[in-house]
Amino acid sequence: MEDMIFYDRLQFAFTITFHYIFPQLTMGLSLIIVLFKFQFLRTKIEKYNDAAKFLMKIFAINFTMGVITGIPMEFQFGTNWAKFSELTGGIIGQTLAMEGLFSFFLESSFLALFIFGEKLMGQRLHFLTGLLVFIGSWASGYLILATNAWMQHPVGYEILENGRFVLTNFSELFTNPWLMPAFLHNQMASLVTSSFVLASIGAFYVLRNKQVEFGRLFLKSGVILGLISSLLVAFPTGDWNAKNMAKYQPGAFAAMEGIFETEHAGAEIVLIGQPNMVEKKLDNKLAVPNVLSFLTYQDWNMQIKGMDQFEEDELPDNIPALYYSYHIMVGLGTIFLGIMALAVFLLWRKKLFKSKAILWTILFLFPFPYIANITGWYTAELGRQPYLVYGLLRTADGVSPNVSSGNTLFTLLGFMGLYLILGLLFVLLVGKTIHQGPTPKKH
């Protein structure tokens, strides 16, 4: 059975990982663009407008990539996960169809207007189109997360005799206790990505000594937003998600924290260690006693269930990957906070633009929020295993019964090849745009 679904899972994981490279930037960037455009309206300083228009170019490239890689995601529900689509389509189809109808149209129509219509519309309307692009992209994230939240923690449904899930309460889809924490955390995480990218472009211009004025603007706004969002991603939103996991997915929680055995008086928090699945313990563990209990329940001595309390087939099937994903995300989050705090401090002491070391660090920091975002999603998705719909529908029961794994392997290889070229194209386009820079108006 495991082998049957292996390639389907791999294909989904591969294509969604690639897809999610793009939306995480667009969601954060759209907010930053709105902020710049707003600054321009307020101050009438041309620089802010040029910055907004420049960033919209990067946005547009990412958006196009989001569209191209998003269509395979939608198709895959039907092609590879037909049984899942058949059984749950009546519910998650609601949120996915709403996404198509409300947010994608909003985003794509007004993106075109933002790029082409400045002269026709005047500045206020132009700001408004930017705002609508922002709303569209966040609404899209919200609806996707509502979909995912339902899979993590199903609500408002009824199961018919033939195994189908049908919707019984529409509004519960949006008041799902899993949704808000996940949405806010995810949006803050995408703001981390975008502000780090912004700061990195800024550092590039300053170090290169061209477009220095924009370089400074980008650096300054990038590190300030970077600090704020890094704070928010850890607390309250990250913490809030962890509490949700402890409450609704205790087995996955134990696995991601690396707790093999239940401790009776308070659980320790693991900082470093490698899960050893044979002996069921952590190798080379470095841990602080009782802290996990406190973080989760505000009680130093609260008991937390370890993996020994769960049946083997109720636990995620890839515990080391889950554990590492989670620890990479949290570890990077901590490092981000440190670096951004330092950068803001230097900015305040007016040393940021001169300190080569920190500029180089910021320049090469931008891949790491991508890694944190992807590993964060791996935490969520691997933690949900072995279920597609938590507790109700197993992953193995969601796959297309009529598509053989040979076919899936073949198409997976095809996607890999095409995405390689696509990725190169993306780097080329973004690189070119950044290289040209937000050149001020010529005429």
Partner 1 sequence: MEIFWYSLIGIILVIFFILDGYDFGTGIIHLFYAKKEKDKEVITKAAGLFWDSNEVWLVAAGGMLFMAFPTYYASVFSGLYLPLIIVLWLIIFRALGLELRGQFNYQMWKDIWDKAFGVSSLLLTLFFGIALGNVLRGVNLGGVEGTEGIYEGHYFFLPLWSHDFSPLSTHPGVIDWFTIIIGIIAVVTIAIHGANWVILKTNASINEKLKKVRFRLGIALVILTLFSLSIWNLINPEAYSNFAEHPYFIIFPLIYITGLAGILMSHKFKKEITPFICSTLLIVGGIISSISSMFPVILPSTNDIHESLTIYNTSTSEYGMNTAFIWGIIGVILIIVYFIIQKRLTTGKVDKMDYGH
Tally helices (H) and strands (E) across the chain.
16, 6
Does the bond joining 236 to the residue before it have cis omega, within 30 degrees of 0?
A: yes
CA distance 111 to 68: 16
Q: Judged by CB under 6 A, which of 258, 376, 398, 438 binds ligand HDD?
A: 376
Cβ neighbours for 422, distance < 8 A, ≥ 6 positions apart: 65, 68, 69
Instruction: Report the candidate in 126, 147, 135, 127 with the shortest Cα–Cα distance to residue 108.
Output: 135
CA dist., res. 420 & res. 309, Å (int)? 43
328 touches which of ligand HDD, ligand HEM, partner 1, none (CB within 5 to 8 A by kind)? Answer: none
Scan residues 137-176 and list those touching ligand HDD (CB under 6 A). 152
By the rule CB under 6 A, 147 interacts with ligand HEM = yes
Q: Report which of 62, 191, 60 is spatially closest to residue 116, judged by C-alpha positions.
A: 60
To ligand HEM, the closest distance from the beta carbon of 241 in angstroms equals 13
Closer to ligand HEM by Cβ: residue 69 or 296: 69
Q: How many residues bind partner 1 (CB under 8 A)?
A: 65
Q: CA of 358: how far to CAs of 189, 335, 345, 363, in Å?
A: 22, 14, 11, 8
Q: Which of 49, 62, 80, 244 binds partner 1 (CB under 8 A)?
A: 80
Establish if 50 lies at the interface with partner 1 (CB under 8 A).
Answer: no
Question: What letter would DSSP give residue 334?
Answer: H
Residue 285 CB, nearest distance to ligand HEM (Å)? Answer: 25
- 31 versus 206: smaller Cβ distance to ligand HEM: 31
Q: Among residue numbers 79 through 138, which ones bind ligand HEM (CB under 6 A)?
A: 81, 96, 104, 107-108, 137
For the window 397-436, what string marks contact with partner 1 as x by the rule CB under 8 A? ---xxxx---x---x--xx--x--xx--x--xx--x----
Q: Which residues contact 196 (CB under 8 A, 6 or more apart)?
A: 222, 226, 336, 362, 365, 366, 368, 369
As measured in angstroms, the least distance from the Cβ of 229 to partner 1 is 28
**222-to-12, 156, 193 alpha-carbon distances in Å:** 33, 41, 10
Count CB neighbours of 134 within 10 A: 24
Give the SS3 label for residue 422: helix
Calpha distance 15→100 (Å, rounded) = 19
3-state DSSP assignment of residue 303: coil
Site for ligand HEM in 19-78 (CB under 6 A): 19-20, 22-23, 26-27, 62-63, 66-67, 70-71, 73-74
The span of 80-88, 91-99, 164-172, 328-336 binding ligand HDD (CB under 6 A) equals 328-336
Cβ within 8 Å of residue 368, ≥6 positions away: 196, 332, 335, 336
> Which option in ligand HEM, partner 1, ligand HDD, none does residue 80 bind, with CB closer than 5 to 8 A by kind?
partner 1
Choice between 56 and 304, CB closer to ligand HEM? 56
Q: Which residues, other chains included, contact 430 with Cβ-Cβ below 8 Å and sequence gap of 6+?
A: 58, 61, 62
Site for ligand HDD contains 198 (CB under 6 A): no
37 interacts with ligand HDD by CB under 6 A = no
Query: For partner 1, what does the binding mask look like between residues 106 and 145, x meaning CB under 8 A?
Result: x-xxxxxx-xxx--xx------------------------
CA dist., res. 278 & res. 290, Å (int): 26
- The binding site for ligand HEM (CB under 6 A) comprises 9, 12-13, 16-17, 19-20, 22-23, 26-27, 62-63, 66-67, 70-71, 73-74, 81, 96, 104, 107-108, 137, 140-141, 144, 147-148, 151, 374, 377-378, 381-382, 385, 388, 395
- The binding site for partner 1 (CB under 8 A) comprises 63-64, 67-68, 70-72, 74-75, 77-80, 82-83, 85-94, 96-102, 104-106, 108-113, 115-117, 120-121, 166-168, 170, 400-403, 407, 411, 414-415, 418, 421-422, 425, 428-429, 432
